[in-house]
Amino acid sequence: MTTTFLYKSDPVRGRQWAEVFRQHAPEIDFRIWPDVGDPQRVRFLAAWEPPADLATQFPQLEVLFSSGAGVDQFDFAALPPALPVVRMVEPGIVRGMVEYVTQAVLSLHRDIPAYRRQQQTGEWRPLPVRPAAERRVGVLGLGSLGQAVLAQLLDFGFDCAGWSRSQHVVEGVQCFAGQEALPAFLARTDILICLLPLTDATRRMLNATLFAHLPQGAMLVHVGRGPQLVSDDLLAALDSGQLSEAMLDVTDPEPLPAGHALWKHPRIHITPHIASMTQPLSAAAVVIDNLRRFNAGEPMIGLVDRTRGY
Ligand code: NDP
Ligand code: OXD
């Protein structure tokens, strides 16, 4: 019986996936939601938001692929318990995140937000230029994105550190692990980048207590998930000078409603969740490779550990 791979996400990008499947996995019947064909044939699904009652609709479903890097949009309790879930680990999304975070860090490092404010009042006032080696950058999350970002920042000569749940060894990066090491990591961080997945452990983690461990005047680049940040604590930290700038690519809620206090703060710089996006051509190629792995009984890249939530 022919296998169906069902794609339920942006249909324009879906057509690019379809072309890659047509060229490299022609034996698979690739379909774009809502054209599901025979539901009994759907063995694989790629989705940002899967349909409800997955088990009833697609009783032969064997793998759920997230069309993005995050999986916090899935209600794990509503998914069949033994269904493997795979997050997106693909070179295009990694490159996009490296570009975004690099521009954010360079912009903060070289005082671009301050010059924008000066321009508004016609003020010509050079600020001191610090070498990158004297700027301590710290990345929360040493996963596929965090490590790629650090590799680029190391190239610029920044003093780099990272924090994760388990201990990592990354050349040139001071690695910290676990809650007990968090204060020491924060104490040496001038520019903090959040690249953590949203889980029960990371929700509301960017709060007043965490900000208090940073050096006074530290800066934040938040590219994880909106609910990790306590907005009122950020506003208070900026008003008190504990933090000096914040670049937010993610907010809670999204879209951020007009008139929200985060829009108005002169030291907050917002982009609408565009730091990075799955690139259809490279993503489809990675998924086809994962299907080969799955069929060969090999571990798939990006397999989610449901007990950890990422
Ligand atoms: P990974 O799963 O590869 O890495 C997650 C990292 O976070 C790991 O190093 C993990 O530690 C660490 N971590 C998770 N929970 C904790 C915790 N409680 N304490 C300490 N460390 C923790 O994810 P990716 O790098 O692929 O992606 C990270 C996130 O980036 C995504 O989940 C998504 O939310 C966000 N994202 C945002 C985008 C945007 O456009 N703004 C685009 C794409 C992703 P360990 O290594 O020990 O497991
Ligand atoms: C993702 C995102 O998780 O775009 O892929 O945020």
* Domain assignment of residue 305, yes or no: no
294-298-304-308 Cα dihedral, nearest 10 degrees:
150
Same domain, 121 and 246: yes
* pLDDT number for residue 1: 84
Same domain, 250 and 161: yes
Same domain, 258 and 160: yes
Q: Which residues contact 28 (CB under 8 A, 6 or more apart)?
A: 2, 3, 4, 5, 21, 291
Does the CB atom of residue 277 touch ligand 2 within 6 A? yes
Best of 139, 195, 307 to mutate for ligand 1, by most ligand atoms within 8 A of CB? 195
Ligand 2 centroid to Cα of residue 239, in Å, is 30
Strand partners, 193: 139, 221
How many structural domains does the chain have? 2
Does the CB atom of residue 113 touch ligand 2 within 6 A? no
Cβ 273 vs Cβ 54: under 8 Å = no
Query: How many CA atoms are closer than 13 Å to the CA of 128, on its beta-carbon side?
Result: 5
| 225 noted as active-site residue | yes
Q: What are phi and psi of 236, to 5 degrees?
A: -65, -40
Please, where are the H alpha helices in the chain? 11-24, 54-57, 91-109, 112-120, 144-155, 182-187, 208-213, 231-240, 261-264, 280-295
Best of 164, 167, 250, 286 to mutate for ligand 1, by most ligand atoms within 8 A of CB? 164
Ligand lying nearest the CA atom of residue 144:
1
Strand partners, 70: none
DSSP assignment letter at 203: T
Please identify every stretch of the chain with a pLDDT value under 50, giving residue numbers as ranges. none
* Domain assignment of residue 285, yes or no: yes
* Domain assignment of residue 104, yes or no: yes
Among 206, 209, 214, smallest CA distance to 243 is for 214
Same domain, 226 and 147: yes
Same domain, 17 and 43: yes
Same domain, 145 and 47: no
pTM above 0.85, yes or no: yes
Does the CB atom of residue 70 touch ligand 2 within 6 A? yes
* Domain assignment of residue 301, yes or no: no
Same domain, 181 and 290: no
In our burial notation (b when 16+ CB lie closer than 10 A, e otherwise), range 46-75 reads: bbeebeeebeeebeebbbbbbbbbbbbebe
Does the CB atom of residue 69 touch ligand 2 within 6 A? yes
* pLDDT number for residue 278: 97
* Domain assignment of residue 309, yes or no: no
Same domain, 35 and 75: yes
What domain range is 181 assigned to? 92-270
Question: Which residues line the pocket of ligand 1, CB cutoff 6 A?
Answer: 69-70, 93, 97, 141-146, 164-166, 195-199, 201-202, 223-225, 249-250, 273, 275-276, 310
Same domain, 98 and 117: yes
Same domain, 291 and 228: no
* pLDDT number for residue 83: 97
Count, in order, helices (H) and strands (E) of the chain.
10, 12
Best of 71, 278, 279 to mutate for ligand 2, by most ligand atoms within 8 A of CB? 278
Kindly report the CATH number assigned to the domain that includes residue 33. Answer: 3.40.50.720
Same domain, 27 and 165: no
Burial class (CB in 10 A: 0-12, 13-18, 19+), 202: buried
* Domain assignment of residue 307, yes or no: no
Amino acid at 181: A
